[in-house]
Each structure stands twice: as C-alpha cells, then as structure tokens.
C-alpha cells in the first residue's frame, strides 16, 4: 500500500481577508458557525471563491467537501444547473416586485401538497426569522410565554433573551454571548 502525501495547505489569502474583516465586521461574520473562534486560527477562517455540487474552493485555490451544506440550506448542492437556470429565468422577468406574484401561490400549493400536515404557508427570509414567527404563533395560540427550545435559532430577541445568564445554560452552544436586552420576555427555557 502506498500513501500519498498531501500538498502544503496555504490559507494566506483567506487570512489577509480575515485581517481586513476584523476592522469592518463585528465577529468578522454574521453567523456564529462561521466565526474563527469555532475553528483553528491560522488554518481558518477560510474565505470561499466559488462552489459547485458539494465542493467549495477558497481564495487560495484549496478544494474542500462541504459536509455542512452551507449550514443547512444547500440541499441540492452549490450552483445546481437546473435550479440556477430557473432562478436566472425568473430574474430576467424581475426578482422583487411591489405587488404579489403568482409564483408565491404556486410554491405554497406545492409545499402543501408535499407536506401532509401543512394547511397553509408563511414565507420567511431566513431560519432565525422562521423560528421567531413560530415562537410568536405558539405564544399567541397557547396564551403562554414559556417556550422550550434546543439548539441554535438565530439572533432574534427571544433567542438572545434565552441566552442571558450563561451559568444556567450548561453545555449550550452559545452561553458565552451575554446580552442585556431590556423589555424582552424571560420565560424561554433551554433544553438539551
């Protein structure tokens, strides 16, 4: 059996971008999962140049397999030819309107058809917003304030309020982020 040595792995270009970002972007990124404190400084953070399928290439030319699928939303892989062609076709007809568009109804019909428990659809811009809407609906329908949650759910007020008092959070993912937010409901219970 022969063993092939790996080529030297340079991330110099990424580290140069990281140095620029330190003075411009708090935490150098918008997501906890992409912060350099979550990886080994000197080997990361890694800045992407392009991606296709399950692979990402960084600004230094290194190739990686993205096992996290962009932290969830890239279930078909990056730069999917069919999806990209459909998106480009729609962009040519306009991408954002000041009035409603039939595509929102067509997608809702398809989601209701595919998800047996779904009766209606509400769109959100991201996962944190979707979780916030779900918490608001749960509180409104139940008449209760207490919400159980486990995991990371974004940067919205209810989630940040849940992270007050890191000593109570045990092994929770983000206990070190202490936030003082006046007027937020406190009864959010962390599970897991």
Tens-place pLDDT, residues 70-123: 877 788 999 999 999 999 999 999 988 999 999 999 999 999 999 999 999 999
C-beta neighbour count of 181 within 10 angstroms: 12
Is the pTM higher than 0.85? The answer reads no
Is it the case that residue 165 has pLDDT exceeding 60? no
Distances (CA, A) of 52 to 114, 123, 133: 27, 27, 32
Q: Which residue has the higher pLDDT, 80 or 172?
A: 80
- 187, 163 Cβ separation under 8 angstroms: no
Mean pLDDT in residue range 119-140: 87
Burial class (CB in 10 A: 0-12, 13-18, 19+), 172: middle
């Amino acid at each position: 059996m022969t063993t092939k040595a790996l080529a030297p792995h340079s991330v110099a270009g990424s580290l140069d971008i990281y140095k620029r970002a330190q003075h411009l972007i708090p935490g150098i990124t918008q997501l906890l999962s992409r912060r350099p404190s979550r990886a080994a400084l000197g080997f990361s953070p890694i800045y992407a140049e392009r991606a296709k399928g399950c692979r990402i290439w960084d600004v230094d030319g290194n190739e990686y397999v993205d096992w996290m699928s962009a932290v969830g939303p890239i279930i078909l892989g990056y730069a999917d030819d069919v999806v990209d062609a459909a998106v480009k076709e729609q962009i040519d007809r306009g991408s954002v309107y000041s009035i409603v568009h039939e595509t929102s109804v067509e997608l809702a019909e398809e989601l209701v058809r595919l998800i047996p428990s779904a009766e209606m659809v509400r769109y959100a811009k991201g996962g944190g917003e979707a979780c916030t809407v779900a918490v608001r609906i749960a509180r409104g329908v139940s008449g209760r304030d207490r919400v159980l949650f486990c995991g990371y759910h974004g940067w919205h007020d209810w989630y940040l309020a849940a992270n007050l008092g890191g000593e109570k959070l045990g092994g929770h993912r983000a206990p070190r982020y202490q936030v003082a937010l006046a007027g937020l409901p406190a009864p959010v219970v962390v599970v897991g």
